[in-house]
Structure 1
Amino acid sequence: MNIFSISSPRASADQQLLSEARDWLVLLTSGRATAADARALRQWCARSPGHAAAFEQAKALWHGLQPAAQRLEQQARFRTFGRRAFLGGALAASAALFMVRLTVPGGFAGLTADFSTEVGEQRRVDLADGVSLELNTQTRISRRERGVGEQGIELLEGEVEVFSQGVQALKVQAGEGWLSARQARFNLRNTERQVCVTCIEGSLQVEVAGRSIGLDSGRQLTYDERGVGQPVAVDPHAVIAWREQVLVFDDATLDTVVREINRYRPGMLVLLNAELGKRKVQARFYLDQLAGVALLIRDAYGAKCTELPGGVVLLS
């Protein structure tokens, strides 16, 4: 009788994929997963049928372990805290410093922002000299002074609608660009390393990459580290629909819709099906409906929903 067991290369490869799939689940439920992580997971699952099967197996194992994990958690509540608890707290504090950079809009700079909002929160801020700000969800803004007598702010992360009716021009920094406006109303967004500015009323000037670009009402400009786009005509009312607690999508891909919804709700929707992500969407979602949006996507597009801890929902 042969008492030795030799794993085949195929078995070893399958175990490796399952291990990687479990790592993905740990990241998703850790509270520090980003939109980029969600896209990377989808690409990972699409690499081969074996990758997709490994992730499905890891999900099944995860759900099978949940009852046991809940029992252990209940037992832990009755235990006294000793040296292990102290060390665990110290490690958690160290991990928290690392997670700040990944999860707080604007990173460490976001912690010192003068004005901020959390997930799903919107807030109005009145500055001096006829300037007011309407901050959207997950937004961080700091005051900036560019010159003597010039009022300025920097949008570190998120989205803001700006009203400028002052005598002096308002200077706004977003990414690598500066905006200048005196009598204007505009929407400014800085998310996923891309800046998008839309002139709602009046006019403004954008200085970026050595260029000076003027925007009038109904014109929009985007720029990032790869370059500066051309001004395009847009519907300004659709851009600022969030002010009315509505998200408007006009022929957007489902992937774009999911990324936008993730800005407004706790947890994360993770779209695993690349073909599903390409489907076009024409829809309006009220912000108070977003808790059940995964079910709406399931019913409308036939997606499979898998719920994980921390508000994470996998769509496949």
Structure 2
Amino acid sequence: MKTPSAPIDDPAAAAEALREEARIWLSRLAGAEPTQMDVQAFQRWQRTSPAHAAAFDEARRQWASMRLALGGLLRTDPKFAARHERLRHGASAQPGRRAFLGAAAGAAVAAGVVAVVHPPLGLWPAAGEWRADERTATGEQRELLLARQVRVTLNTQTSVRRQAEGLELIAGEAAIDLPAEGGAPFVVSAGAGRALAGGDGPGRFELSYLQGKACLSCLEGTVRLEHPAGTRQLQARQQLVYDAQAISGVRAIEPADLSAWRRGELVFRQTPLARVVDEINRYRPGRVVLLAASRRDDPVSGRFSIAVLDEALLQIQHSFDLQARSLPGGLLVLS
């Protein structure tokens, strides 16, 4: 990729040139599905210096702000909506700021009401996660002790924001342990729903929020879900799923399997291989890509240690007769 060059004796020009390179990279990565060569080249560029990394951080913040603003304009201003098409069509020939604006406008149209930026291949946190008070990295787990002795355990790739009555789960998965003492219910909001528990005795529940879908599980005591589609009450060993529009039925669960991640394990029971790979990607640095389409729905059962997931991948490779190819940056292709 050609990028602008700047005179090394002009710090201001050099800094602007670096910002321009960052905008070009972000437009290239977000404008279409990037190839692995694109990703590897970007990662080399980003690691060139701290200034390169900082320039990209600035570009992605601008990108998120513009997508939010452009989304509103495109919905409310017909003249702007008509003009944006001309800008977007001219962006491909102008790789710098104009392409950056055009790609942001185009993305806002495609997404409708834009709330977050979905980064390609997990190269950076989604825009909504930048406002988190606490965020765990890939493979990291963290325990928080909040007011009233409420204990919250954050799983890998989890972002939360503290609120007066509890927490907002922006993305990821959290386990909440509530004390025996009474008081106001502890509230965890995720997407369109609010989970309320405690206030009448000890309790334990888990809530995950991934790709717009939430899963609420009650392990001990009771937990209530408040949602635009209605209210549901869960007892111990019960679970439901919801998204922005609807709530599923209640089903029974095995708490030991559900909480295996807190013991450093992943447990699968007749789980489709594609979902197993997605789950492993939440815990393992890099990326596992499953190209064997015919194997995506094959069932997987097993118990794997989070600390040695490459061993789990080796077992999967042999069990399903897959070919594995390792690439730089922790990328593993299964075909």
| Unaligned runs of at least 5 residues, structure 1 | 1-20, 33-68, 146-150
* Runs of 4+ deviating beyond 6 Å: none
* Equivalence for 1:173: 189
- Is residue 158 of structure 1 aligned with residue 172 of structure 2? yes
TM-aligned CA deviation for residue 308 of structure 1:
1.6
1:21-63 deviation per Cα after TM superposition (whole angstroms, max 9, x unaligned): 995223554789xxxxxxxxxxxxxxxxxxxxxxxxxxxxxxx
- Is residue 274 of structure 1 aligned with residue 285 of structure 2? no
Give the SS at the match of 2:312.
helix
* Equivalence for 2:259: 240
1:63-85 deviation per Cα after TM superposition (whole angstroms, max 9, x unaligned): xxxxxx9xxx9xxx9xxx9xxx9
**Which residue identity lines up with residue 153 of structure 1 in the other structure?**
L
* Equivalence for 1:129: 148
8 A Cα contact 1:269 1:294, kept in partner: no
**Which residue identity lines up with residue 155 of structure 1 in the other structure?**
L
- 2:191 and 2:307 map into 1 onto residues whose CA distance is 31
TM-aligned CA deviation for residue 277 of structure 1:
1.1
1:220-259 correspondence runs (5 A):
220-259=239-278
User: More relative contact order in 1 or in 2 (CA 8 Å, sep 6+)?
Assistant: 1
* Equivalence for 2:3: none
Match of 1:295 among 314, 325, 333: 314
| Unaligned runs of at least 5 residues, structure 2 | 1-31, 65-115
8 A Cα contact 1:105 1:157, kept in partner: no
8 A Cα contact 2:229 2:245, kept in partner: no
* Equivalence for 1:304: 323
TM-aligned CA deviation for residue 113 of structure 1:
1.5
- 2:311 and 2:245 map into 1 onto residues whose CA distance is 36
- 1:114–1:276 CA distance, 2 compared to 1 (3 A): same
- 1:189 and 1:105 map into 2 onto residues whose CA distance is 20
TM-aligned CA deviation for residue 93 of structure 1:
4.8
- Identity score, percent: 33
- 1:119 and 1:200 map into 2 onto residues whose CA distance is 25
* Equivalence for 1:58: none
TM-score, reference length from structure 2: 0.65
**Which of the pair is proportionally richer in strand?**
1
Give the SS at the match of 1:118.
coil
- 2:216 and 2:326 map into 1 onto residues whose CA distance is 35
TM-aligned CA deviation for residue 117 of structure 1:
1.0
TM-aligned CA deviation for residue 287 of structure 1:
0.8
8 A Cα contact 1:254 1:279, kept in partner: yes
TM-aligned CA deviation for residue 112 of structure 1:
2.7
- 2:251 and 2:174 map into 1 onto residues whose CA distance is 20
- 2:262 and 2:328 map into 1 onto residues whose CA distance is 30
- 2:53 and 2:136 map into 1 onto residues whose CA distance is 27
Root mean square deviation, CA, Å: 3.0
Give the SS at the match of 2:316.
helix
**Highest Rg: 1 or 2?**
1
* Equivalence for 1:186: 205
TM-score, reference length from structure 1: 0.69
- 1:241 and 1:106 map into 2 onto residues whose CA distance is 25
- 1:274 and 1:154 map into 2 onto residues whose CA distance is 36
- 2:304 and 2:227 map into 1 onto residues whose CA distance is 34
Give the SS at the match of 1:259.
helix
* Equivalence for 1:45: none
8 A Cα contact 1:104 1:111, kept in partner: no
8 A Cα contact 2:216 2:241, kept in partner: yes
- 2:261 and 2:204 map into 1 onto residues whose CA distance is 15
- 2:304 and 2:42 map into 1 onto residues whose CA distance is 25
